[in-house]
């Protein structure tokens, strides 16, 4: 169980992962040493998996996002391994989830433009040889983007 200080630490770090120990301790109401020890324990216990920068996709020339639903040809160990290996090593795939329903997987994919996204699907995903069908929904406008988890 997390106490109120640990929850505050996690909330604050989700908003500003570069905060100094002093800034963090001021924000949560602890002195620096106990605050630092709690952060280290949260890291060691796996509550904090890693730190990352949130980049501006448009400034990087990546303005097309799509949600791609995938159905595999079959569910053999080889097909699933091939698909999973591709997903894990491809930087254009931002997220992948195994889902229920008519499809097996849902991907969030990024590309420079819609044509590049289409090319990625046609030349990479479909050429794997294990994908039966895809359905793609293009993102028209991002309303909310957040990786922050709700912490009560």
Beta bridge partners of 57: none
Residue count (the chain): 152
For residues 63 and 85, what is the distance between their CA atoms, to the nearest angstrom? 25
For residues 61 and 83, what is the distance between their CA atoms, to the nearest angstrom? 27
Tens digits of residue pLDDT in 58-115? 999 999 999 999 999 999 999 999 999 999 999 999 999 999 999 999 999 999 999 9
Interval 7-31 mean pLDDT: 96
Beta bridge partners of 105: 70, 98
For residues 121 and 92, what is the distance between their CA atoms, to the nearest angstrom? 11
pTM for this one? 0.89
pLDDT of amino acid 152: 86
Q: b vs e for 37-56, b when ≥16 Cβ sit within 10 Å of the residue's Cβ?
A: ebbeebeeeebbeeeeeeee
**Domain range annotation of the chain:** 4-44, 64-138
Tens digits of residue pLDDT in 124-145? 999 999 999 999 999 999 999 8
The values of phi and psi at residue 105, to 5°, are: -140, 155
Q: Residue 9 to residues 40, 75, 105, 148: CA-CA distances in angstroms?
A: 11, 42, 34, 13
| CATH tag, 4-44 | 1.10.10.10
| CATH tag, 64-138 | 3.30.70.920
For residues 102 and 45, what is the distance between their CA atoms, to the nearest angstrom? 37
Identical topology for domains 4-44 and 64-138: no
Report the range of poorest mean pLDDT among 30-39, 43-52, 62-71, 142-151. 142-151
């Amino acid at each position: 169980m997390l106490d109120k200080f640990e929850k505050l630490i996690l909330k604050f770090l989700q908003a500003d992962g570069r905060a100094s120990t002093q800034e963090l301790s001021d924000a949560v109401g602890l002195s620096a040493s106990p605050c630092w020890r709690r952060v280290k324990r949260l890291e060691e216990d796996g509550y904090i998996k890693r730190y990352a920068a949130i980049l501006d996709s448009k400034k990087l020339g990546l303005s097309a996002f799509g949600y791609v639903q995938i159905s595999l040809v079959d569910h053999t160990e080889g097909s699933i391994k091939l698909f999973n290996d591709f997903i894990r090593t491809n930087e254009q795939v931002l997220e992948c989830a195994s889902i229920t329903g008519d499809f097996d997987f849902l991907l969030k994919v990024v590309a420079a433009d819609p044509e590049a996204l289409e090319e990625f699907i046609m030349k990479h995903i479909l050429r794997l040889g294990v994908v039966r069908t895809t359905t793609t929904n293009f993102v028209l406008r991002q309303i909310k983007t957040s990786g922050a988890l709700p912490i009560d």
